Amino acid sequence: MSSVRTFRAPGRVNLIGGQIDYHEGWVVSLAIDRDVVVRATASDDGRVTAHSSEFAGAVDVAADGRDDPPATRPQWGRAIAGVVRVLADLGREPVGAELTISSAVPVGAGLSSSAAFEVACALALTDAAGFTLEGPALAFAAQSAEHAATGVPCGIQDQMTSVCGRADHALFLDCRTLDMEHLRLPAELCVLVVHSGVPRTLEGSPYAQRRAESEAVARQLGLRVLRDATLDQVRDIPRGRHAVTEMQRVRDFTRALREGRLDALGPLMLASHASSRDDMQVSIPELDTLVECLVDAGALGARLTGAGFGGCVVAIGPAEAAGAITERTTERYRAATGREPTAWVVRGAAGASRIA
Ligand code: GLA
């Protein structure tokens, strides 16, 4: 009987750089101290089976990747079948495994629970078969698994952050070259994540539609992606204007963080939220209200995180005020919307790994 080996992959929060990873833009994200954990035992029956503490039912797919991911049941097993299929295509031997999965990354919150799930499963399954996949290759495999499982045309920032995060640092990622810089988060800043109480799944959201709309802008300009557009070209085209101005905000944010100019960070996040709301139209009234409540409560900046349309807002504030900001925001948001928010203080975490 093989031994049990345990793997973890963190969720992420996107500090700035929304809806531009698929335009080969720049993003700043944080792998957070909330993990998907997979305990795995290799087996010799050629089957990958999985149980989850969050989802009902048992998953059982062929280890050679022959099972169609979207057709896999229960539904959460699509991601397992997606990972199995992608790894088989990459040359992983069809070694079976029993997986037991648990997650501290809230689902449907914009914190990349599915990217973390796929990265953790990919780590466990590669390990069981003695197949090595690391860094960007692991992130791209997890992204392909998501595409295969759900058809959601997600970019690469979630998986790269889950794989490449570093404790107490944010990750600056160039989604064209995959150049990375780990930016230390100063101790005087706290990062807050507040769930609006409005759930959403990427699959059920207009994410793919927004992506298609902004890709149409690139085509209209004769470009492959909006990374190559200038502000003059998109000044009167809201989707394009969002992409080009957001890319500039990410670079300004990165420079400010590198140089310790902390008071420049908040306004850039707020401008990012406004552009996501007005030009990209990926916000909802609850997220706008939550951003306002956070700022009124003393946050330096806040913006929706992830694809939008519900889920969480991320904010930064003075570390010593974290408790007071959370308390005031919760009160005001509840009174304004009748919804129950959930708040967490998050820290930068290390990328996915085996737990010894
Ligand atoms: C989702 C996708 C990412 C990215 C964000 C929006 O989280 O998975 O690739 O496009 O939305 O920035």
Pocket test for ligand 1, best of 16, 117, 158, 312 (most atoms within 8 A of CB): 158
| Distance from C-alpha of 329 to C-alpha of 314, rounded to nearest angstrom | 12
| pLDDT value of position 153 | 96
Q: SS3 for 51?
A: strand
pLDDT in tens, 252-303: 999 999 999 999 999 999 999 999 999 999 999 999 999 999 999 999 999 9
pLDDT in tens, 111-120: 999 999 999 9
| pLDDT value of position 20 | 98
| pLDDT value of position 148 | 98
pLDDT in tens, 191-202: 999 999 999 888
Name the superfamily (CATH) of residues 185-346.
GHMP kinase, C-terminal domain (3.30.70.890)
Cβ atoms 138, 161 nearer than 8 A = no
**Average predicted confidence (pLDDT) for the chain:** 97
Cβ atoms 204, 309 nearer than 8 A = no
Domain ranges of the chain: 5-177, 185-346
| Distance from C-alpha of 105 to C-alpha of 122, rounded to nearest angstrom | 17
Q: What pTM was estimated for this model as a whole?
A: 0.98
Element (DSSP H or E) covering residue 318: strand 312-318
Q: Is the domain defined by 5-177 classed in CATH 3.40.50.300?
A: no
302 Cα: distance to centroid of ligand 1 (angstroms): 17
| pLDDT value of position 225 | 98
Q: Tell me, yes or no, if the two domains 5-177 and 185-346 fold the same way.
A: no
Would you call 279 a catalytic residue per the annotation?
no
Low-confidence ranges of the chain (pLDDT < 70): 1
Residue 323: count of CB within 10 angstroms of its CB: 11
Residue nearest to atom 11 of ligand 1 (CA): 307
